[in-house]
A and B are shown apart, each in its own frame.
Chain A
Amino acid sequence: MSVISSYARALAVQTGRAQPVATVRHVHLSATPMVFIPLKLAGEAAAPLAALVGTDPANPRLLVVPQPRNRDLRFAFMAELADVMLPYIEGFAAVTETVEAKTPYERSSDAPQLLVPNRGGVAFTKLLGRSTRFRRADGPYPVHPSVPVLGQWLTFLAERAEYAGSSALVALTEALALHWATGQSPMEDANLATQLAWIAPPEGQNGPEAALAAEDPLTSPPAGPETHPDFDGQVLDHAIRAYESSGSPAQVREALRTQLEPTWALMWQAVRLLRGLPEAATVDARWAKDRDQFTRETARLADGGFPRGRVDGAVSAAIRLADLESALQTYEAQRAFDDPLVMTEHRVAGKAFSGEVVAVDATRRIVPPGKTRPAPRPLVTIRTSDPVRLSPGKRLFSSRNRKQKTEIVSIAGDLVVIQINDQMGRGSTPAPGSVPEVGEIVCYAELDPGGGQRPRLPSGEDTPWTHGGPPAPYVPTDEDAQEAWS
């Protein structure tokens, strides 16, 4: 935990109410998100038990597996889920916009957004995708044709969720923790009910009181995917037996409804709270990336794309790691430049500083290393009271112009001298406005928004000997859906 978040937590304990740790909203919230609360059967890796799903707060759809040990019923449940989700997901593919780029291309104007209660919900979504995407509508154990398609989409969404800053599949407890610090531990913050109790306690209660009340599994049942053991033993077991003897799922449905409906209300409360914050400047750019990927996946599936493999090949793993790293780097930098409160964390850690410009040498020209002709390299002196822990030569960025590269020349006492290296126009003197002026309040940080050039990796077929050579091409078979442990 950073100093600021520890301080905010202490303050939350002292005041009895969650403290804001962000001034703007850093996640995208769709106008029509789909809330998805899955439950699984205790003791099984990926046996779905029930789900409450939908886009209308007033009209959730309850899906259950009346006997979750029955695999046919599980896949019937998945077909029902596909019935709800696929029209929602595929509906976004219809409307596109043209993106102005070097080679203009089409991109979906909007994309699906799935909201789950917590990290466990994301992991279970991934498992559901894994257990369904290799299934087939023909062959030994046929399923409804929509099931593998849903599996592909759930996999797509769950894999997007690994990228920092993606909003395609959001765990709401994590989204809330990004904006509020509660007086409980990060582990306890994974409980949506108590976390919301700290952030928005009911009238007449403070955070700790409301959180204590919200710990009662009768009023706030677990948000899944695991159910409460008492519920399993005392309610669910009887209801499943009743289904076995009578063939009517009514009792199972009713039991699971009581477990899911309180969370459904909390999910929409969390959405309202997050909507109350103004959107950060770069949220739209990150959502555009999600839309790009959605458009690509739509095209891939339309071409009859194979289900994604369970493990990555050597080359795809390396590419993915590079993508994950650059997404994280960009996200961290954007979040800090968008939000002064987030930047404070970096300033306290000495990785950023803010202050007033006290001197500018705008006409300075030097011969940069590796070059032959002099070029403008203005010096800017900033007076700061921040504890700067950066060393000369360090490359810095600023929200003034996020593309502009600057570097530290010297630090003496509270005076920091930086040199501006680019983004000053083509003239022999810097373009107006490209260099800060005396009296301006500026903030510089070592956070690189990235997006630079990356070396090319070989293609999968050219995997070198060091990494095991080219892998055998994938040929789908009936055994694909088998797990080593199933």
Chain B
Amino acid sequence: MITLTPEQAAAEATEAILADFTGGPHRGVIVDSPPGAGKTTLVVTAAMTLAGSGERLMIVAQTNEQVDDLTDKLAAKAPTLSIGRLHSDGFSVPSRVTRHPGVTASNKIDQVEACAVVVATADKWAYVSGHTWTWAIVDEAYQMRSDKLLAIAALFDRALFVGDPGQLDPFSVVDTERWAGLAWDPMQSAVAVIGRLNNLPVHRLPVSWRLPASAAPLVSEAFYPFAPFRSGTAAADRELQLTTAGFPVAWDRTLNEAAATGWALHELPNRHTIRTDADAVQACAGLAVRLLQRGAVAHDENGSHDVGPDRIAIGCAHNDQVAAIRAAGVPAGITVDTANRLQGREYDVTIVLHPLSGRRDATAFHLESGRLCVLTSRHRHACIVVARAGIAELLDNQPSTGRVQLNVPVKFPDGWEANHAVLAHLSDHRVQA
């Protein structure tokens, strides 16, 4: 058997997806994409292919930030393409979008309708009526709730649904089991619904360009047990170098471990704490400060660069933890956010406050595999997890017992199992504070 290089494997997958989308018998094609697998590149390629043959295309993304990113990349790759950026009233389009001459931004569909490609959020598309497109691309479709898709489905004939199945499911503030088990349950993701009601082909992107060789196997095994992927780079391609030697203190030892292996578990003594655990919060902020002070340099396949504050993120589960970490003195420019908002973003180094750290109970929210998956798959070089000791025991004492609902498809991976897989791996990179 001939083993394909990552580049060949990715190109082959992209070709098959485009052939199925533009020439296949189905009205929709689903593409499962692991973290950093070139999803945006696929969307841009598909858009350029369709636009190149004179077809009009609509693109749906979930947040304004995603739409702006996509528009920017599309315009950079295809400067001659006419792109419409449809937005809501009162929204100010950032300069990274408006700097491209091919982009027309407007809050009125009539002013951008003539563009070869029109990009907008699902919320904005829901207000468009009386216009139709043959082709549509729905980006981040696993983050989209199925009722959002219902509102815009009449606008297009055929669609490419692209998304990451390992990330967080969409949610509702309403707590109801009224629709549990229904194929069109509006609280499910758009992909879950179209997948159940239409027999659509599912493609996979096989290579993660973001995750380093140290992370791809773990993330693939823990969170994508039935859709394995590999890293696009070899272990030697990525190196995180700390230009100053550390002190023999826990923070610096943790950074050394992370720089050397790509993973570190900064373990605090076992204790039950409130959500905004002062020690854990201090450790997250302190590690970020030391990382900058020690002058980290990232070497990768594209060259070398200093790891500045904009290349570092701190992720946690709750908003009050975000607020507490920000208040603990994080250097300006470092991103501190919840898992929900870190979805789709990329950094060189991430510092993660483990969702189960210091907890007495492992609720479904804190166990959700998507949350841990998002937090541990944002980095290109290293991921540092800050946690209280005792999470493995907590998991064993509190096996997850959700209510069984009839006709609800079983979801893999199980959060309990995924948490254990990650913990087992991290235990080899433990630094006790």
Binary CB contact string for chain B from 191 to 214 against chain A (1 if under 8 A, 0 otherwise) = 001100110000000000000000
Interface of B is mostly: loop
**CB-nearest residue of chain A relative to B27?**
A465
Which candidate, A97-105, A136-144, A215-223, A454-462, is the interface stretch facing chain B? A454-462
> Could you tell me the distance between the alpha carbons of A318 and B28 in the complex, rounded to whole angstroms?
21
Q: Which residues of chain B from 277 to 309 have a CB within 8 Å of any chain A CB?
A: none
- Chain B residues with Cβ under 8 A from A312's Cβ? 178-179, 182
Q: Is A369 an interface residue (CB 8 A)?
A: yes
- Interface pair A458/B150, CB less than 8 Å apart: yes
- Interface pair A468/B182, CB less than 8 Å apart: no
- Chain A residues with Cβ under 8 A from B133's Cβ? none
> Could you tell me the distance between the alpha carbons of A208 and B92 in the complex, rounded to whole angstroms?
59
Binary CB contact string for chain A from 335 to 374 against chain B (1 if under 8 A, 0 otherwise) = 0000000000000011000000000000000001110000
Chain B CB count within 10 A is highest, among A350, A456, A465, A467, for A467
Q: Is B244 an interface residue (CB 8 A)?
A: no
- Chain B residues with Cβ under 8 A from A463's Cβ? 150
Which candidate, A196-204, A270-278, A321-329, is the interface stretch facing chain B? A321-329
- Chain A residues with Cβ under 8 A from B323's Cβ? 350, 389
**Complex partner residue of A324 from B89, B123, B176, CB under 8 angstroms:** B176
- Chain B residues with Cβ under 8 A from A314's Cβ? 150, 184, 186
Q: How far is the CB of B158 from chain A (nearest CB, A)?
A: 10
Q: Is B169 an interface residue (CB 8 A)?
A: no
- Chain A residues with Cβ under 8 A from B28's Cβ? 466
- Interface pair A321/B182, CB less than 8 Å apart: no
- Chain A residues with Cβ under 8 A from B174's Cβ? 321, 324-325, 328
Q: How far is the CB of A123 from chain B (nearest CB, A)?
A: 11
- Interface pair A369/B127, CB less than 8 Å apart: no
Q: Is A162 an interface residue (CB 8 A)?
A: yes
- Interface pair B182/A317, CB less than 8 Å apart: yes
Q: How far is the CB of B419 from chain A (nearest CB, A)?
A: 25
Binary CB contact string for chain B from 347 to 375 against chain A (1 if under 8 A, 0 otherwise) = 00000000000000000000000000000
Q: How far is the CB of B215 from chain A (nearest CB, A)?
A: 30
- Interface pair B146/A462, CB less than 8 Å apart: no
**CB-nearest residue of chain B relative to A469?**
B197
Q: Is A91 an interface residue (CB 8 A)?
A: no
Q: Is A305 an interface residue (CB 8 A)?
A: no
> Could you tell me the distance between the alpha carbons of A455 and B153 in the complex, rounded to whole angstroms?
13
> Could you tell me the distance between the alpha carbons of A443 and B159 in the complex, rounded to whole angstroms?
47
Q: Which residues of chain B from 148 to 174 have a CB within 8 Å of any chain A CB?
A: 149-151, 153-154, 159, 172-174
**Complex partner residue of B129 from A322, A328, A456, CB under 8 angstroms:** A456
Are A311 and B154 also in contact (CB < 8 A) when A162-B176, A370-B89 are? no
Q: How far is the CB of B363 from chain A (nearest CB, A)?
A: 13
**CB-nearest residue of chain B relative to A463?**
B150
Q: Is A315 an interface residue (CB 8 A)?
A: yes
Q: Is A145 an interface residue (CB 8 A)?
A: no
Q: Which residues of chain A from 357 to 407 have a CB within 8 Å of any chain B CB?
A: 368-370, 389
Q: Is A439 an interface residue (CB 8 A)?
A: no
Q: Is A186 an interface residue (CB 8 A)?
A: no
- Interface pair A321/B173, CB less than 8 Å apart: no
- Interface pair B150/A370, CB less than 8 Å apart: no
> Could you tell me the distance between the alpha carbons of A322 and B146 in the complex, rounded to whole angstroms?
12
Q: Is A57 an interface residue (CB 8 A)?
A: no
- Interface pair A315/B150, CB less than 8 Å apart: yes
Are A455 and B178 also in contact (CB < 8 A) when A369-B92, A464-B154, A468-B197 are? no
- Interface pair A389/B319, CB less than 8 Å apart: yes
Are A468 and B184 also in contact (CB < 8 A) when A389-B320, A458-B150, A462-B154 are? yes
Q: How far is the CB of B272 from chain A (nearest CB, A)?
A: 15
- Chain A residues with Cβ under 8 A from B417's Cβ? none
- Interface pair B176/A370, CB less than 8 Å apart: no
- Interface pair A370/B319, CB less than 8 Å apart: no
**Complex partner residue of A321 from B126, B149, B154, B186, CB under 8 angstroms:** B186
- Chain B residues with Cβ under 8 A from A315's Cβ? 150
Q: How far is the CB of A185 from chain B (nearest CB, A)?
A: 14
**CB-nearest residue of chain A relative to B179?**
A317
- Interface pair A311/B182, CB less than 8 Å apart: yes
Are A162 and B90 also in contact (CB < 8 A) when A329-B173, A467-B153 are? no
- Interface pair A458/B154, CB less than 8 Å apart: yes
- Interface pair A455/B126, CB less than 8 Å apart: yes
- Chain B residues with Cβ under 8 A from A313's Cβ? 184
Q: Is B346 an interface residue (CB 8 A)?
A: no
**Complex partner residue of A328 from B126, B173, B184, B197, CB under 8 angstroms:** B173
> Could you tell me the distance between the alpha carbons of A456 and B159 in the complex, rounded to whole angstroms?
21
- Chain A residues with Cβ under 8 A from B126's Cβ? 455-456
Beyond the given pairs A318-B147, A462-B154, A466-B28, 14 more chain A to chain B contacts, judged by CB atoms under 8 angstroms and listed by A's residue number, are A317-B179, A317-B185, A321-B172, A321-B179, A325-B173, A369-B92, A370-B91, A456-B126, A456-B129, A457-B147, A457-B150, A458-B153, A467-B146, A467-B150
CB pairs A–B below 8 angstroms (15 shown): A311-B182, A317-B178, A317-B184, A321-B147, A325-B172, A369-B91, A389-B320, A455-B126, A462-B154, A464-B150, A464-B153, A465-B153, A466-B190, A467-B149, A467-B150
A residues whose Cβ falls under 8 Å from a Cβ of B: 162, 311-315, 317-318, 320-322, 324-325, 328-329, 349-350, 368-370, 389, 455-458, 462-468
* 9 A-B pairs with least C-beta separation: A455-B126, A464-B153, A369-B92, A318-B147, A314-B184, A389-B323, A468-B197, A466-B153, A318-B186
